[in-house]
A = this chain, B = another copy of it.
Amino acid sequence: MKKLAVVAFGGNALIRGDEKGTIEEQEANAYDTCVKLSELIKKNYNFVITHGNGPQVGNILLQNVGGAKMFNIPEMPLDICGAYSQGFIGYVLEQQLRNVLEQRGLDRDIITIITQVLVDKDDAAFKKPTKPIGPFYNKDEADKISKTTGAIFHENPRGRGWRRVVASPVPYRIANRQSIGKLARDGQIVIAIGGGGIPVYYVKPNELRGIEAVIDKDLASSLLAIQIQADEFIILTDIPKVCINFRKPDEKTLDVLNVDDAKLYLKKGQFTEGSMAPKVRACIQFVEFTGKEALITESSHLTKEGAGTRFILK
């Protein structure tokens, strides 16, 4: 029996450092990432790939604004922009992974699924949105948009202007989870829940609708791993191991971390919000629900023995 893994990586794996995100850059970065992912095939894994979409959906939002102002094209809400990004990133990843496999004589089919994720419209996050998205505006523009659309704006602490904030609600049910699990167990490499999934909610018990929010991609990926009974949950990042006292004289890298210690470190603010903290929470969720192990590691060390930080129950 092959092991089934869910492997999550960030949208900034495709737009690095000060890159602008040309298609050439994103394809080249996707290729690099796929070379690393192909190691899982050599190790005989079945797996689902999940990915972020932060920089890409940021660009799509600006394209929306540009299209509206210059050509009067109706602006699309955030759930549609997320759907754009799932199509885009899924296609680029699938194509580059097909190339990597073909060039290495590895024979697997790859399938990209547009994924909706159910959230709760009464989630406390909707009362206090915190996730900044899209372009910066000056105060007058922000006030005007706010008045017509109800969007909430926060002032950037570094004086860059006013920016829209949206909620980051808890993910509940992942659409197509059974098919995702089945396809992956059948040996297909499945690309799914891009950007954490397109957030949807029930307006009425028999009517789904998209909602302008951003689901944390690590948390959604962990939920998918639980819901498809994956054997492993892996988060790829750009540091070799999780650290405490990060960038301080007594910095300590962690080889293994149990759930209790992880919670304690989180409480003490050891992990940066918007960066390592959500990754740690996603791993805790998987390990607590399943009793299995989760891993945070650098993508180039994906299958290297002893690499990364293993999360264990106790």
Contacts and interface: CB of A to CB of B under 8 A. Distances in A.
A160 to B, nearest CB: 14
Interface in A133-157: 135
Assign chain A's interface to a size class. Answer: 35 or more
Nearest to A115: B112
Contact of A183 (B70, B99, B179): B179
A103 B99 CA distance: 43
Given A109-B178, A113-B112, A73 B88 contact: no
A12 to B, nearest CB: 15
Given A90-B83, A111-B113, A183-B179, A99 B208 contact: yes
A2 interface: no
Contact of A87 (B63, B74, B114, B183): B114
Interface of A: 20-23, 59-60, 62-74, 76-77, 79-80, 83-88, 90-92, 94-95, 98-99, 102-103, 109, 111-114, 116, 135, 175-176, 178-179, 183, 188, 198, 200, 206-210
Instruction: List 6 tightest A-B contacts by C-beta distance, closest first.
Output: A87-B87, A66-B66, A63-B67, A83-B91, A112-B114, A66-B67
